[in-house]
Amino acid sequence: MTPNWDDMRVFLAVAREESLSAAGRQLKIDPATVGRRIARLEASLNAPLFTKSQQGYVLTSAGERLLDHGLKAEEAMRAAAGAMAGSSKTLSGQIRIGAPDGCANYLLPQVCAQICDANPDLDIQILALPRVINLSRREADMAVTVSAPTAGRVLVQKITDYRLYLVASDEYLSARPAIPTPEALKGHRMIGYIPDMIFDRELDYLVDLGVDRVALASNSVSVQLRQVALGSGVCVAHDFTLPFHPNLRKILTDHVSLTRSFHLVRHQGDQRNERLNRFATALTAGIRDEVARLEAAASS
C-alpha cells in the first residue's frame, strides 16, 4: 500500500522531533492521534518504522529508507506550494531561519522586521543555536553559517564578509595594565567560547592568538559581550555588535583584525521554489546592508 501524504507528514514530524508529543505540537494534533497514525502507517507497510529508546523515537532501518522518500515527497510539495505562492506580489506563510548566535541576535532582528514590514502576511522564525543547523531534517528552511558546507544536498551562497576585533570595556581598560602588544594579553582575563563546544573551526578565534586559557566562557556571543561590558575581561567581538555596546573599545587593532564570512545554506530541492528564492534574495541583501551599516557606525 502506498502511504498517503497526511501519514507521511506525521511520519516526518516524529522522525524530526523523536517524540509523539513534540510532533503533535508541531502538527497541532494530540499525541495519541500521532501514535495511531504511525501505527497505521507501519501496518500498511508491514514494517516497524521506529523503536522507543531513552532518547525517544528512533528510526529503524526501514524508517531510514522511508525518510529518504518522505523528504523527496516533501520537497516536491514545497516546490508546488512555492510555485503557486510565487505569483503573489508579497510573501506569506511561515519561514524559519537557523543562524549562529551573533547573527541571530545582532543582525536578523532588524533584517527580518524589514522583510515583514514589506510582507505583512509572512511569519519569520529565527532559530538561534550554538551548533550546525540540521537542514536535512528540516529544522529550518535555510540557515546562515560561517563555514560553507562541503557535503550534503545543499545550495550555498556567500552573503558577505565581516570583521572581528579584540574589545574590552572602558572600565576594564582604565583599571588594568595597558595592552600594547598581543603578548600582553597573557596578563589579562580572556572571555570566549567554551573550548569543547566550538562547533565551527572559524569560531576558534583565541587559539590563533596563542591564548590557551579562557577564564570566562560561554557558547553564546551575547553572554560573552555582556561579561565584557561589565568589565570582566577581554574578548573577540564582531564589529557589527559594537554599536549596541557603546562602552566597549577595540584594542590592538594594528595587530588583531579577523575576517570571516556569512553564507546562506538552503535545501537543494528548494532551488525552484520561487517563494523561498524571493525570501533568500531579500535576506541576503538585508544582512549585507546591515553588516555594512553597523560596521560603518562602529568605525565612526
CATH number at residue 205: 3.40.190.10
More confident residue, 149 or 250: 250
Specify whether 59 is located in the same domain as 43. yes
Domain with 183 in it: 161-258
The dihedrals phi and psi of 53, each to the nearest 5 degrees, come to -135, 180
Query: Residue 55: what pLDDT?
Result: 78
Specify whether 28 is located in the same domain as 44. yes
**3 state DSSP class of 163:** strand
Query: Residue 254: what pLDDT?
Result: 92
Specify whether 212 is located in the same domain as 101. no
* pTM, 2 dp: 0.74
User: How confident is the model over 10-37, as a mean pLDDT?
Assistant: 89
Specify whether 94 is located in the same domain as 167. no
**Measured CA distances, 135 to 151, 156, 194 (Å):** 12, 12, 25
Specify whether 183 is located in the same domain as 45. no
Q: Tell me how many domains the chain contains.
A: 3
Q: What is the CATH number of the domain that holds 73?
A: 1.10.10.10
**3 state DSSP class of 168:** strand
Query: Residue 206: what pLDDT?
Result: 84
User: How confident is the model over 197-207, as a mean pLDDT?
Assistant: 85
**Measured CA distances, 120 to 19, 66, 115, 289 (Å):** 33, 37, 9, 21
Specify whether 246 is located in the same domain as 114. no
Specify whether 165 is located in the same domain as 254. yes
**Contact in structure between 31 and 25 (CB atoms under 8 Å):** no
Q: For 238, how many CA atoms within 13 A lie in the half-sphere containing its CB?
A: 27
Specify whether 145 is located in the same domain as 281. yes
Specify whether 203 is located in the same domain as 130. no
Specify whether 253 is located in the same domain as 267. no
Grid coordinates given for 164: 572581528
Specify whether 253 is located in the same domain as 278. no
User: How confident is the model over 149-178, as a mean pLDDT?
Assistant: 91
248-276 per-position pLDDT tens digit:
999 999 999 999 999 999 988 788 888 99
Specify whether 64 is located in the same domain as 101. no
**Contact in structure between 242 and 248 (CB atoms under 8 Å):** yes
More confident residue, 279 or 53: 279
User: How confident is the model over 35-56, as a mean pLDDT?
Assistant: 89
